[in-house]
Amino acid sequence: MNQSNKSFSSVDEYLTAQPENVRPLLEEIRHIIRSTVPNAVETISYGMPAYKVHGVLVYFAANKNHIGFYPTGSPIEVFKEDLSAFKTSKGAIQFPLQTGVPADLVKKITLYRLREDEEKFLMKAKK
């Protein structure tokens, strides 16, 4: 499903290219991110939908049996207990298609990434 070898010009184009059974989950995660950080710029990066303010906050992608949510590494550690029901790796979380998207968790992680992004931006600005 994650068509990383295909180049998409927009998130809408990415979503349209996904199977119908997965699209509602992708739309849901998109809505959660956009409503949590309305000023984030929506783009395609590494062939996936990505949301950035100063830097990229999070990515997501359709996969065969799950929705991949990619918030970078630090939230995986910070929210380890909240993520115990999901398969994770260094910078990725897998939300099984049959269980859907945990909206509150996606929102918490996205807000955490926004704070990290702001702190990093301010630190660079001070230098």
Residues 68-126 have pLDDT tens digits of 999 999 999 999 999 999 999 999 999 999 999 999 999 999 999 999 999 999 988 88
Instruction: Tell whether 121 is covered by a domain.
Output: yes
Q: Which residues contact 71 (CB under 8 A, 6 or more apart)?
A: 57, 58, 91, 93, 109, 110, 112, 113
Q: Is residue 2 part of a domain?
A: no
pTM tops 0.75 = yes
Q: Which long-range contacts (CB under 8 A, 24 or more apart) does 15-21 make?
A: 15/49, 18/62, 19/62, 21/97
pLDDT bucket at 4, cuts 50 / 70 / 90 = very low
CB crowding 7-46: b at 16 or more within 10 Å, else e: ebeebeebbeebeeebeebbeebbebbeebbeebeeebee
110, with CB counted inside 10 A (0-12, 13-18, 19+), is buried
User: In this structure, is residue 5 part of a structural domain?
Assistant: no
Domain count of the chain?
A: 1
Q: Which domain holds residue 66?
A: 11-126
Q: Considering the domain boundaries, does residue 93 fall inside one?
A: yes
How large a percentage of the chain has pLDDT more than 70? 95
Please report how many Cα atoms fall inside a 13 Å half-sphere around the Cα of residue 99, on the Cβ side.
Answer: 11
Determine, yes or no, domain membership for 6.
Answer: no
CATH code, domain with 39: 3.90.1150.200
